[in-house]
Amino acid sequence: MTGASAKRRLWLINKKAPGASGVPNEKMGDTAVSDIVIAGYLGFANSGDEALLSIVLSEIKRRLPGKTVTVLSMKPKKTHKLYGVRARHRYNAAAINGEFSRGGVFLFGGGSLIQDVTSHRSLLYYLWLLRSAERHGMKTMLFANGLGPLLRESSRRGAAEVLSRVDAITLRDRDSARLAEEIGVPMGRVTVTADTAFLLNGEPDGEGGHVDSGVPDGMKYAVISYRPWKSGKTEYCEAASALCRHLWEKHGIAPLLVPMQLPCDMRTSKRIAGHAGVPVYIRRAPLSSADARAILSRAELTVGMRLHTLIFSAVAGTPMVGVSYDKKVESLCREMNVPCVGLDAGADELCRAADDVIERRGELAGSVTARAEAMAARAAETVDILASLFDSPDGGGK
């Protein structure tokens, strides 16, 4: 699909979505100007990405007081209500171009947006956003993104062409930087920082989360966070069910399943719980960043596929086992020096990894905390780079 056809797809979606421009924010008037426009996987009830947005907005408020923000969201009304910011529908091409035409900085990410594994169409959409922002004279910044995988040659060419014109590229891990160099992105534009989720402890709204899990008071529990992956593949869920039995029967630790994206992760959690044969608890409510910190800080360990569950666990000082469906999980586990197993790992391998973490919990908790603090310092550099875009003579526009 070309850039033109991607734009046409946005127009068709917008035609099917009356009122998708972000009402009630329309009351602000079409002439309202935001200093920063943020895009990401937002408005999809993904707790990790929503937590990232909350953290980014807190950092902007702290470091760039007075700067106004517009967020592109699948559910702009909800985003406006939750965060008190101007919001536009992510598929309203006319509204998006209107925002871009007023200048400022286009903040892209975080998360793994430039990839073609989960969807090639989403890659085309995100590249269209970057092209359009640049064409309208905005400064553009990749904000602690993960890059890849990029399986198609056309994806690699398209990504390299667009990223070579971005004003500032911050990537959250070295694997992403290596891929950027491999596809031909000028490395002078690239800075390796860290995922913004490592700044969770500095978020002022992060106090007072709720441990609303159903686990009885005083009972030890382990957080298990899985996602669906590849239709028809269920073996990894069977291994997770066996892990639930193992934790309960050998260690007296209750399994607490924490879906990060509703409803899709909930279906996976219910599958795991249904085959465990022991008491299993499921967190059913949406998870805020404060909730995540409260729940994870009290856990004995975390076992998960979801990257941001693992990062929040590290920030909370709770050691973890990564279950890798993507290189980003392996990269994080290397940085944190904790076990990581493949998605095809059997029950025995998964249980051994969990046993190792439980046995060395005290040692690993200290190590993970120290490493998370170091990553937070690197993540703060991303905000420094954003601030520097406003320090230039044109003040945030090209």
Residue 52 — pLDDT band, cuts 50, 70, 90? very high
Identity of the amino acid at 292: A
Q: Which residue has the higher pLDDT, 371 or 293?
A: 371
pLDDT value at residue 22:
46
What b-and-e string marks burial along 189-206, b requiring 16 or more CB atoms within 10 Å of the CB?
Answer: bbbbbbbbbbbbeebeeb
Whether the predicted pLDDT of 27 surpasses 60: no
Q: Which residue has the higher pLDDT, 171 or 291?
A: 171
> pLDDT tens for residues 78-90?
999 999 999 999 9
pLDDT value at residue 115:
95
Bridge partners for 282 per DSSP? 257
100, with CB counted inside 10 A (0-12, 13-18, 19+), is buried
Residue 183 — pLDDT band, cuts 50, 70, 90? very high
Q: Is 40 helix (H, G, I), strand (E, B) or coil?
A: coil
- Output the pTM of the full model: 0.88
pLDDT value at residue 395:
61
- Give me the helix-helix angle, 120-135 and 93-100, nearest 10°: 40
Residue 110 — pLDDT band, cuts 50, 70, 90? confident
Residue 131: which of 264, 4, 29, 246 has the closest Cα? 4
Report in angstroms the alpha-carbon separations of 62 from 56, 66, 204, 229, 336. 10, 9, 10, 38, 28
Whether the predicted pLDDT of 1 surpasses 80: no
Indicate the DSSP class of residue 84.
-
Averaged pLDDT score across all residues of the chain: 89
pLDDT value at residue 393:
62
User: Any idea which of 10-14, 152-156, 392-396 has the lowest mean pLDDT?
Assistant: 10-14
Whether the predicted pLDDT of 30 surpasses 70: no
Whether the predicted pLDDT of 241 surpasses 80: yes
Cβ neighbour number for residue 23 with a 10 Å cutoff = 13
pLDDT value at residue 287:
85
- Rounded distance, CA 130 to CA 128, Å? 5
Residue 13 — pLDDT band, cuts 50, 70, 90? very low
Report in angstroms the alpha-carbon separations of 199 from 170, 202, 376. 15, 5, 5
What b-and-e string marks burial along 255-288, b requiring 16 or more CB atoms within 10 Å of the CB?
Answer: bbbbbbbbeebbebbbbbbebbeeebbbbeeebb
- Rounded distance, CA 55 to CA 201, Å? 9
Bridge partners for 216 per DSSP? none
Whether the predicted pLDDT of 208 surpasses 50: no
Tell me if 229 sits within 8 A of 325, measured CB to CB: yes
Whether the predicted pLDDT of 230 surpasses 90: no
Whether the predicted pLDDT of 303 surpasses 90: yes
Whether the predicted pLDDT of 261 surpasses 80: yes
pLDDT value at residue 207:
44
Whole-angstrom distance between the N-terminal and C-terminal Cα of the chain? 28
Bridge partners for 106 per DSSP? 37, 140
| Nearby residues of 248 by Cβ (< 8 Å), 6 or more positions away | 254, 255, 276, 278, 279
Whether the predicted pLDDT of 116 surpasses 90: yes
Residue 268 — pLDDT band, cuts 50, 70, 90? very high
- Please state the rounded mean pLDDT for residues 166-186: 96
Q: Is 167 helix (H, G, I), strand (E, B) or coil?
A: coil
Domains and CATH numbers, the chain: 3-192 (3.40.50), 221-373 (3.40.50.2000)
| Nearby residues of 372 by Cβ (< 8 Å), 6 or more positions away | 198, 311, 314, 315, 317, 336
> pLDDT tens for residues 193-206?
999 999 997 544 44
- Rounded distance, CA 205 to CA 40, Å? 21
Taking the mean position of all CA atoms in its chain, how far away is CA 246? 30
Cβ neighbour number for residue 165 with a 10 Å cutoff = 13
> pLDDT tens for residues 314-348?
999 999 999 999 999 999 999 999 999 999 999 99
Residue 175 — pLDDT band, cuts 50, 70, 90? very high
Whether the predicted pLDDT of 59 surpasses 50: yes
Bridge partners for 255 per DSSP? 222
% of the chain beyond a pLDDT of 70: 87
265's tokens = 């992760």
Alpha carbon dihedral 376, 302, 147, 188, in 10-degree steps, equals 20
Whether the predicted pLDDT of 288 surpasses 90: no
